[in-house]
Every structure is written in structure tokens, then in C-alpha cells.
Amino acid sequence: MGDHTSLLIIGAGPFGLALSAYARAHEIEHTIVGRPMEFWKQHMPKQMLLRSHCDWHLDPLGEHTIEQYLQALELRPKDVEPLSLAFYLDYCNWFIQQKELEIVDAQVESLDRSGESFIATLDNGTTITADRAVIAVGFLYFENIPDSLRALFPSGRFSHTSQTCDFSDLENKSVLIIGGRQSAFEWTALVHEAGAKEIHVSYRHPTPSFEESDWSWVAGAVSSIATEPGWFRKLPSEERDRINQRQWAEGRLKLEPWLAPRITNDKTTLHPESEIVACEEKPNGRMEITLNDGTKFIADHVILATGYKVDVSRIPFLANGNILEQLTTRNNFPALDDYLESNIPGLFFTSMCATQDFGSFFGFTVSVRASASLIGSRLNQSALDQRFESP
């Protein structure tokens, strides 16, 4: 019949690791399944710098923080900020070791609900039954490629940023990047540094400002979410909109200042307030791109920095099981209560899947501890209720 666990955590990224650490500290029997930090390792460029800060650590107990890790290395935050992807992955490995987290290095192929239990079938042929399950899959399944762009470019000549992490094939090539936010400009810098012949960047809005984002207020907001379940959801709609707009402005209307000198060169051309209106594949295989202002240029490859869009039906292990037919959704997001629990008792969603109900904070690692605390408090309450109900 396979193994049984009280709690199954699907996903071994930051949100899954934080919850596993919480569960272990509170003696909640659990199993975490996933390839540790897979999205970060496989779908982010090794040279990438993060917008995360040293206080955006994983530990809901406040023990094994990034600053604690720095002390072990005899370093200070100013020595490592902006954080490199390599440093953050090293911290995550250290965190896993310090917390003694045991991760089943496998993928869930299907998740089903049977009676009051969940049944997960893994790609190694084993099954796990669980009383409760948490889906913490992050960005992996939600890359957004608008149909209009998919139809515009020849097959095989474009890729999403999440699938474009090795730039060696772009050396001496002409590249078009579509998008005008942080990822678009960081990929622009990385493509240039990899030796691209020329780079064009097209986006529909004015160029964002190159200035340091102010995230100082975010920790307080996220703390309120953790300590006052329902806090964000119960705010007047105008206040929720104001908070989301402020988060959006910090994350989307500003570019990290360390990017500016890296994209200022004679090989990079920015095209603000522009759109692609035509793409003609030439006999030599190159593409002639036309913008709405009549500008034309040649590109060998197109990178789509078009972000992510949640649709739970795109999660393969849900599509392969019977969960979706029972799950209540709104705008393709799961409908969640104040503790991140769906309408299916015992089934929780976090990370990107929670951003509709809990705000855009949950698209950032600053929220991993709040997520763990919310789900953990519901699990603890359920365990307490069961003790009182036992004869």
C-alpha cells in the first residue's frame, strides 16, 4: 500500500523547506517530497543576483537565519548583498543540514483524494498516503507565454526566461528580449555578458527607474499575516489594493541600480513603449522584427520575460489525479481560507498559488515563514482537537 504520513509536503523549495522545519520543530510527523531547490537550480541563471535580502530567511523559529549562516562564514550582510544565486543555494543547503530535514528526492506524478486521505504516486514507483497535504510548487508550472506572442514567432525560435538559463548558444547572436521589468533587464545584462552580438529590448511602458527598492515595510505586513490570520483578507478592498500597489511599485516600477551600468553599452538598444507587430523569417533563417513605430531589426532568438500566471490545472500531478474535480477555484487560483486551506479538508496551497487570497507577498521568499506559521497553526489545532475527541 506504500508509506503513510500525517502530513505530505509537495515541493522542496523555500516554502516547502520552511514548513518542513516548522513541522519537525513541532513534532508533526511529515514527509517532504521534491528535488531540493530544483527551480532555482534548473530555471535560474547561475550568474543571477537576487532581490532577496538577508532578513528573508527560511526559519520560522528564527534560529537558522541567513545572518546566522553569515556568522559561521565570518561575513556580514554588506559582504554578500545583493545576494547571488550561488550564495542563496549554499544557505539553503546549510539550512537543510542544520534542520536535519529528510527530503524524498522524487517527483509526485499524481495526487488523489480517497475518503479522508490523499494518495501520492511518485515517479520512483512508490506511493504515499497522507492525512493532509500541502502543495508548495512555486513558479515551476506557471510560465506565461501569451498566445499572441506564441503565434507571432516561428516554433523553436523563442523561449521563456525560465527556460533560458545557459547563454552560451547566444554568443555572437542577435537577441530580442520582450518585457520591461527586473527579469527582462537582468537577462539583458547576462546575455550581453555572454557575448551576444546585439540585444534589443521591447516593452510597452516607460523604462522603470534604476533605484533601490524599499522593502522595509514588507516584513511588518507579512508578520501581520502570520500572527493575525485573515488580517490581509479582512482589510477594506481599498487598503488591500493600496498594499498590493505599493508592493507592485517596489517590485515592478523599479530596477535594481546595479543593473544600470550592465545594460548601458553600444550593443544594447532599449525600445520603451513599443510592441512587436510583425516577425518575418528570412531565407537565411534569421528573423526580421518590426515594431509598432516602424523600427526594424534582425534577431536570431527571442527571450520572453513575460512572467508567470497561476492556473492550478497546469500542475501535472493534479491534472493526473482527481483533485481538480473537487477543488473550488477563482480565476484559476485555489480558493483558500485564512490558513491557506482549500475547500478540500486537509489540502493546503502556498507560494504563488496563494497570491490571489494573500497578496503578492506570497510570490516572494519573504513570506515563507508566515506561510509555515499559518499552515502549522491549523495543523496544531487539528492535532489538539483530535486529542480532545479521543476516548
Q: Tell me the domains of the chain and their CATH numbers.
A: 3-142+309-389 (3.50.50.60), 147-211+256-304 (3.50.50.60)
Cell of 237: 478592498
Confidence of residue 7 (pLDDT cuts 50, 70, 90): very high
Beta carbons of 156 and 143 less than 8 angstroms apart: no
Cell of 238: 481599498
pLDDT tens sequence across 103-130: 999 999 999 999 999 999 999 999 999 9
Percent of the chain that is helix, strand, coil (3-state, to 5)? 40, 25, 40
Cα separation, 235 vs 304, in Å, equals: 35
- Bridge partners of residue 200, in order along the sequence: 176, 269
DSSP state of 284: T
DSSP state of 345: T
- Regarding predicted confidence, which is higher, 375 or 219? 375
Q: What does residue 273 show for φ and ψ, rounded to 5 degrees? A: 55, 45
DSSP state of 83: P
Task: Give the containing element (helix H, strand E) for 177.
Answer: strand 174-178
For residue 223, what pLDDT is reported? 85
Confidence of residue 391 (pLDDT cuts 50, 70, 90): very low
Percentage above 90 pLDDT, the chain? 84
Is residue 387 predicted with pLDDT exceeding 60? no
CA distances from 69 to 74, 93, 96, 97, 280 (A): 9, 11, 12, 12, 52
- Bridge partners of residue 176, in order along the sequence: 200, 302
Confidence of residue 157 (pLDDT cuts 50, 70, 90): very high
Cα separation, 155 vs 161, in Å, equals: 16
Single-letter residue type at 334? P
For residue 259, what pLDDT is reported? 95
Whole-prediction pTM: 0.94
pLDDT tens sequence across 11-22: 999 999 999 999
Stretch 151-167: mean pLDDT: 96
Is residue 267 predicted with pLDDT exceeding 90? yes
Which one, of 256, 172, 265, lies nearest residue 214 by Cα?
Answer: 256
Q: Which residue has the cell 493532509?
A: 132
Lowest mean pLDDT among 67-76, 201-210, 217-226: 217-226
CA distances from 306 to 93, 143, 241, 257, 263 (A): 30, 8, 22, 21, 19
Cα separation, 163 vs 327, in Å, equals: 30
Cβ burial 202-219 (10 Å sphere, 16+ → b, else e): bbeeeebebeebebeebb
Is residue 292 predicted with pLDDT exceeding 50? yes
Is residue 383 predicted with pLDDT exceeding 80? no
Is residue 390 predicted with pLDDT exceeding 70? no
